[in-house]
Amino acid sequence: MPDPDSIPPAAQAAILAWYQDHGRALPFRRTNDPYPVLVSEAMAQQTQAARAGEAWVRFIERFPTAEALAAASPADVLRAWRGLGYNRRALNLQRAARRIVEVHRGRVPPDIRSLLELPGVGPYTARAVAAIAFGEPVGAVDTNVRRVLGRILAGDPAAMSAARLQRAADGAVPKDRAADWAHALMDVGATVCRPRRPDCEACPARTWCAFAGGSRPVAAVRGVASRRRPSPAFATTSRWLRGRIVERLRAASARTWTRVEGPIGMHDEAAVAAALIALARDGLIELDRRSTVAGPGQRARLSTS
Residues 35, 94: Cα–Cα separation, whole Å: 12
Task: Give which of 92, 89, 93, 136 is closest to 112, Cα–Cα.
Answer: 136
The single residue of 41, 136, 247, 269 carrying the catalytic annotation is 41
Indicate the DSSP class of residue 254. Answer: T
* Pairwise CA distance, residues 280 & 127, whole Å: 32
Q: 3-class DSSP state for residue 263?
A: coil
What are the backbone angles phi and psi of residue 260, rounded to the nearest 5°?
Answer: -120, 125
Residue 165 exposed, middle or buried by CB count within 10 Å (0-12, 13-18, 19+): buried
Sheet-wide strand order for 298-302? 258-260, 298-302, 285-287
Q: Distance (Å, rounded) from C-alpha 153 to C-alpha 164?
A: 11
Strands (E) located in the chain: 258-260, 285-287, 298-302
- Whether 201 is catalytic: no
Give the integer Cα–Cα distance in Å for 290 and 22: 57
Expressed in angstroms, the distance from the first to the final Cα of the chain is 60
| CA dihedral of 232, 234, 240, 244, whole degrees rounded to 10 | -140
**Closest by CA position to 216, among listed 229, 191, 230, 197:** 197
Instruction: Return the active site residues.
Output: 41
